[in-house]
Structure 1
Amino acid sequence: MKLVSVETPEKSVCKMTFSASAEELEAASNAVYERTRASYTIKGFAKGEADRAQIEADRGEHTFWYDAINDLMDRDVPALYDAAMKEHGFRAVDEPTYDLVSVKKDEGFVATATTALQPELKLAQTSGFKVECVTPAVTDKEIDNVLEHRRQASAELVPHKGPAVKGNIVHIDYEGQMDGQPFKGGSAKNQTLQLGSSRMIPGFEEGILGHKGGEEFDIFVTFPTRYHVKDLAGKPAVFKIKLIDVCVRQLPALNSDFAKKAGKVDTMEAFREQIRQQIHDGKHASALNRAKDQVLTQLANAAEGEIPSVLVESTYQREMENIQQQLQMQRVSLDHYLSQVHQTRETFTANVHKAAENNTRARMALLQVAQQENLVPTDEEMTAKMQERADKLKKPLEEIMAKSNVESIRRNEAIRRAADWVIEHSTIEEK
């Protein structure tokens, strides 16, 4: 492969064009074929017996191209890229984005690498910013809520002799049968169940109501038609129940005994004060983080200059991916979330894009501060940092260095140090 051109289509953006000849593409494609031929099953041939021409006739002439392109790019482009960056004195602030421009059997292929470069910002101010840290007061209601939560967590199960009612917690043995035979997954021993929780299929919990501890009885139910086990869906069954006991949750009294047990203090007054301090500390930590963010926002606002659009876009894409992952963990779709916060998709994405732009400007300003104040980690410091990682993972330093983007780690550490420096050289007034 060879480097064809180096361009700057916009300020602080570098675009390199690379090409590979038809001969290089053919050799790499053949190497992919030799490596993967055993995995192909072509009609009329046993698995792995078809030759390259037969595979390409069935799957298309491009079958091996894209793996071949990736192989060539991985092999040749890093050295070409690094040499060009060094020759032109460019300083990257993000990983390059690769695009395939064209690929033809008799011409080879052309690809580009687009990279965000460090912008030259005019920093009107790098220290002496002033913000307020406002910590909201702790209310009695907040203390009461925490107390009740801890009280609920300290509740004890106490057996009672009366019939089971909703809200009781029971311990049961049960065996499910269908046509007189037990079925898989239908039995359990000493199972804990809160009646009315709807954990079990319809009719199961209701069948326990009115029974007392020690009783044995049958419950007749029908599985829901959309039950997750298809063999059981819509079918009748009987559960043979042994009701071991019926319990009620007994909440502790809010007295000195509870204070000693839950708070390790002698009185409820002391316990309330302990909770008040804990709530205050949490609120203060949040307020202080907001104040620090405001300092960095002021730094970004004081930084004049053009930010690479490709860097803003990559930051925006990462932030959107993070949001999507968080929503998936909560099993909430983006559209459902937007309906809850009363925002349109257009407004939401515009806000995320604006935040990405502000975050990018702040990071680039901090990187410049790090360079001005000699806060960028040295090679010796980076080696020590990577050695710590190697020791933790119990792997050789050389392996960790080879698998890590050392310059990206150096850049992020420089930005972190600069953020601490700017905040330390600013005033956060406590309110």
Structure 2
Amino acid sequence: AVVDFEGTLDGRPIKGWSKKNYSLEVGKENLAPGFTQAVTGMKKGETKNADIQFPADYGFHGLQGKTAVFKIALKDLKERKVPAVDEKLAKDFGFDSIAALKERIKEELKLQKEQGEKKRLIDEMVTRLVKGTSIDLPSTLIERQRDYMMYKLNNELANKNATMEDYLKANKLTEEKLKEKYSEAAEKQLKATLIFAEISNREGIKVEDEDVKNEIEKLAYAYRQDPLKLRRQLEQRGLIDNLREDILERKIIDFLFSGAKIEERGKPFWAGIGKLFAGKK
């Protein structure tokens, strides 16, 4: 269903709860609780008001336990059609045969699984490296890293035509909870950065100006922004150093993975990591 909607609370518009040409799948509650139920049964061109009761533990601050009124206009109805898996489908995707398409899908699924395992190992590696370290970090440093992480999140959301309000609702978070969550993640990331800095010194791993330029160009492409404008934004916010730390961290992780034997889960990986530091002073 394609709808326009506007939510009000006590007669006043609710910030972030007004959309035009919003697509939703009827039967799935991807907005407010009971929203798709209110749309069910409407006819194309129809407009109605619906009372939506938010639960007491709802993640969006200010709506918990409240009843809002939504003005909903049904603009269009579409039916999801699943195409037949045949030679025509393969050719539509640029493959000579359905067998070739299936083989590519298998390869992609395998790659996704490998990338998921690598991400899991990276998270475990960072946690192990940080665990047990007693590093006191200035609160201003943690706040700057948190702001950098939230800046990236905002850009990613904008690229998906979503807002921070959408993200908070989808993840059942308040703004305060999100900041708390990102502050914890920022502290962990900063501690890992200090440990990685020691590794980079030992191994001569550096971030060159060309690395920063290339990374900004990638981000600009992903965020659909001009690279020079994006660089100015990062410089004005004092976030270029944070970007350098991001790049350095990825370089070090790639270095650690290249030296670690990752054929099985667990021990072979950590044995490989251990060998990298054996005998180093």
Shorter-chain TM range is 0.3 to 0.5
Which one scores higher on RCO, CA 8 angstroms, separation ≥ 6? Answer: 1
When normalised by structure 2's length, the TM-score is 0.45
Larger radius of gyration: 1
Which has more strand, going by share of residues? 1
